[in-house]
Amino acid sequence: MGKTVTALHGLLLTLGLVAAQAEKAGEALPNWLTGIIAVGVFLFLIFIAFLVNKAWCEDASKPEAVHNEYAMTNGSTRETSLDAVRSSEDPKAYENVVVHQTDEKVTEM
Amino acid sequence: MENTTAKHVTINNPADISVIVGYFLVVIAVGIWSTFRTNRGTVGGYFLAGRTMVWWPVGTSLFASNIGSGHFVGLAGTAAASGIAVGGFEWNALFIVLLLGWVFVPVYLTAGVITMPQYLKKRFGGTRISLYLSIISLFLYIFTKISVDMFSGAVFIQQALGWNIYVAVIALLCITALYTVTGGLAALMYTDTVQTFVIIAGAFVLMGFSFYEVGGYSALLEKYSLALPSQRNSSISEHCYTPREDAFHLLRDPTTGDLPWPGVLFGIAIIGSWYWCTDQVIVQRCLAARSLTHVKAGCILCGYLKLLPMFLMVFPGMISRVLYPDEVGCVDSGVCKEVCGTEVGCSNIAYPKLVVSVMPTGLRGLMLAVMLAALMSSLASIFNSSSTLFTMDIWTRIRPQARDKELMIVGRVWILCIVAISICWIPVVQAAQSGQLFDYIQSVTSYLAPPIAAVFFLAIFVKRVNESGAFWGLMGGLVMGLCRMIPEFAYGSGSCLSPTNCPKLICGVHYLYFAVLLFFCTGILVLFISYNTPPIEDKHLHRLVFTLRHSKEERVDLDWEEEERGRRARREADEKKKVVTEEDQIERGERSIMMKIIGWFCGISDTQAPEPTEEEVTEASKQLPDISEDPLWKNLVNANALIMMSVAVYFWGYYA
């Protein structure tokens, strides 16, 4: 994360320099520069939208996801849920089911 | 400059002719090959290509259906007259096509509909909205798409070949009708891939030659502002023939520009949403895809292809004005009449003039093939979609007991009717002010399409919107649009030399601003009426709105009664037919060979699947159309969409 931030800082600095020089010379920004600035602004807005989406919609979607999985297994009888983990090699064996880990991290006291 | 001799060069040398013949052979071969790949005898097979298309025919078909000869003539002509801002129409579509793939098509797919009026019927219930939409869509097809494409093709053929317009257009329409009628959507989509290659290859070649003639890109930038016609009399005001100062800017002044930037950003977005997201021609191609991921990938491909028209048509149009300022940039009415037959202006001949003058022998045939490709692909798509609309929405209302075979035949007969109407419309388009061709399409669309876009947006996103709100919103929008359209066409759009007398209150507002205004007024009207009338319950809306698109619950269809009536009528017809054919078979024996050949050609089989019983219908409705996506491909496609949007934003920024 630190490296990308430094790289971003470097990029912004160079762009700022070029823009300042162009303004000093009294001409409009070169076309390719306006293009790049537009892309930069656009990606920034997308980034903000992504953060907003993660912050707001994350809580709502998590319990829904679990609920959907139950709804998917039709009828949810014991046979069908066992069918979901039936091994492909031997019809009588079953795969090891991995218990779904949550993202909670337990910090050591 | 060698511009006097090249005016009516006919394409009559072996190189050109062999290229054209080769092109036709390839198209017909692909059309025939695709008839063997899909089953055309069923409604799903004929109208939706059996829902088996992968992403590349979807993408190329979207592009080829959109790019018609109207683009070559209209885009290049308007660019010659006023610069690159007209390319904003194309580059705006990059974003709208993503809106189509990510927002609209998932809802259409889960709704399980074939046509857009059908979607509105399921969403709102009742029949008046879908009837209005079918009629106005057919109207807009005939008057904005078909007539313009045909007229542009005619201009090109007239300039390039010197043929009689009617002969040329009738021949074109017949060939198009031939492969539309026989093949259905599958044939169209595969031939569209061929057409796209031809269009892009040919247009690139022309662009290369044009830039070479003018001396390069920077030479174009310098010379365009100096392209003044030599024959002008002093009574004509200077700004009528001088190239615009902001010719190389996409975003122009909001009050004095000919395409003001708020209009370009928002007005074109609204018109684009109607064209790409709610119109049968485009949506049908997405519905034919194999899965939602293929739809999205196809939309991205189409988006990338839409970057090209600016370079392939807009710049060559401007180059044409630089190279032939006296013809393309003519301003004196006598001179213009001599050059292209109309007094208003000759900017429409920009592209054909380049083809005739700049391209060497052999490649002229290629360019003619390009124009034919653009013309035929667009026309074929429009024919197929209007046939779908007519068959599924209007004919089934008149005769609900019609079975697959009858619907197939009706669909094909309707195409022949549309061909006849289009031929009759040619003289009208010729008589209209041809100098305003691109303006004419865009303004008619701006006055009639925004209410439809507004209703579709609200239908998908706002559950509260109900039938009365939508209907009266559409009617209000129509009235408002006609209030602007009728005076403007009655007074005539005028030209730089003789401006129109249309009162400023009505015609002073730019048509793009009017589109935005109409969109919001219709939206407000729809919401106002919906909130004052009873809502539609959720049980009717599962998988019909964006928020409920993943819902797996059972939906009580609002149009269930009408569908049930139709099913009952078809079951009764089946019963009657069984009795009749049993008697018939004993008497007559086998069908004649002639009937069999016709049946094979049109893909109509004799065996008709029986109308499903009530139990089968309820079982089938439980199998829901799948819009789930493999997470890996979903992320890949989303990332690609982001890249495409960044590229689009870069180009917008570059030319702003």
pLDDT tens readout for residues B306-342:
999 999 999 999 999 999 888 888 877 788 877 777 7
Q: Do A42 and B645 touch (CB under 8 A)?
A: yes
Model confidence at B62, pLDDT cuts 50, 70, 90, reads very high
CA distance A88 to chain B (A): 21
Q: Quick one: average pLDDT of B409-433?
A: 74
CB of B328 closer than 8 Å to CB of B321:
yes
Q: Which pLDDT score, from 0 to 100, does residue B411 have?
A: 84
Of the spans B29-33, B497-501, B561-565, which averages the highest pLDDT? B29-33
Model pLDDT for residues B590-618, shown as the tens digit of each residue: 556 666 666 555 555 555 555 656 666 55
Of the spans B465-474, B530-539, B622-631, which averages the highest pLDDT? B465-474
Spell out the SS3 assignment of B505-557: HHHCCCHHHHHHHHHHHHHHHHHHHHHCCCCCCHHHCCCCCHHHCCCCCCCCC
pLDDT at A90 over 50: yes
Q: For chain A, say whether B552 makes contact (Cβ under 8 Å).
A: yes
Cα–Cα dist B392/B47, whole Å: 10
pLDDT at B222 over 60: yes
Q: Which pLDDT score, from 0 to 100, does residue A75 have?
A: 46
Please give the ipTM for the structure prediction: 0.75
pLDDT at B103 over 50: yes
Of the spans B12-26, B66-80, B138-152, which averages the highest pLDDT? B66-80
Q: Which pLDDT score, from 0 to 100, does residue B249 have?
A: 87
With a pLDDT cut of 90, the percent of chain A lying above it is 15
Interface size A-B, in CB pairs within 8 Å, comes to 30
CA distance B349 to chain A (A): 31
* Closest A-chain CA to B647: A39
CA distance A41 to chain B (A): 10
Q: CA of A79: how far to CAs of A70, A100, B34, B217, in Å?
A: 14, 21, 45, 71
CA-based nearest residue to B155, from B495, B424, B429, B357 = B429
CA B100, B104, B108, B114 dihedral sign is negative
Q: Quick one: average pLDDT of A38-52?
A: 92
Helix (H) or strand (E) holding B80: helix B76-82
Cα–Cα dist B347/B329, whole Å: 6
Q: Do A35 and B552 touch (CB under 8 A)?
A: no
Of the spans A4-8, B103-107, B189-193, B625-629, which averages the highest pLDDT? B103-107
Q: For chain A, say whether B248 makes contact (Cβ under 8 Å).
A: no
Model pLDDT for residues B153-187, shown as the tens digit of each residue: 877 777 777 777 677 777 777 777 776 666 667 77
Cα–Cα dist A68/A31, whole Å: 50
Nearest to A38 among B552, B642, B650 (CB): B650
Cα–Cα dist B361/B209, whole Å: 13
CB of B109 closer than 8 Å to CB of B545:
no
Average pLDDT, chain B: 81
Range in A46-60, B415-429, B529-543 with the lowest mean pLDDT: B415-429
Q: In chain A, which residues touch B (CB < 8 A)?
A: 31-32, 34-39, 42-43, 46, 71
Nearest to B654 among A31, A46, A71 (CB): A31
Q: Do B653 and A34 touch (CB under 8 A)?
A: yes
pLDDT at A10 over 90: no
Q: Quick one: average pLDDT of B414-438?
A: 70
Q: Which pLDDT score, from 0 to 100, does residue B11 have?
A: 56
Task: Give the residue, B26 or A11, on which the prediction is more confident.
Answer: B26
CA distance A33 to chain B (A): 8
pLDDT at A77 over 60: no
Average pLDDT, chain A: 63
Q: Which pLDDT score, from 0 to 100, does residue B449 have?
A: 93
Range in A88-92, B324-328, B381-385, B393-397 with the lowest mean pLDDT: A88-92
Q: B33: how many CB neighbours lie within 10 A of its CB?
A: 13
Q: Which pLDDT score, from 0 to 100, does residue B558 have?
A: 76
pLDDT at A87 over 70: no
Q: Quick one: average pLDDT of B235-259?
A: 81
Q: Which pLDDT score, from 0 to 100, does residue B38 have?
A: 65
Q: Quick one: average pLDDT of B138-142?
A: 84
Task: Give the residue, B428 or A55, on which the prediction is more confident.
Answer: A55
Cα–Cα dist B459/B509, whole Å: 29
* Closest B-chain CA to A34: B653
CB neighbour list of residue B22: distance below 8 Å, 6 or more residues apart:
none
Beta-bridged to residue B252, according to DSSP, are B260
Chain B residues 603-642 within an 8 A CB cutoff of chain A: 642
Q: Which pLDDT score, from 0 to 100, does residue B10 have?
A: 58
Model confidence at B1, pLDDT cuts 50, 70, 90, reads very low
Q: Which pLDDT score, from 0 to 100, does residue B102 have?
A: 93
Nearest to B650 among A39, A46, A71 (CB): A39
Range in B124-133, B236-245, B270-279, B444-453 with the lowest mean pLDDT: B236-245
Query: What are φ and ψ of residue B252, in 5° steps?
Result: -115, 170
With a pLDDT cut of 70, the percent of chain B lying above it is 85
User: How would you label B634-643 residue by residue, b for 16+ Cβ within 10 Å and e otherwise?
Assistant: eeebeebbee
Model confidence at B429, pLDDT cuts 50, 70, 90, reads low
Q: Which pLDDT score, from 0 to 100, does residue B525 have?
A: 94
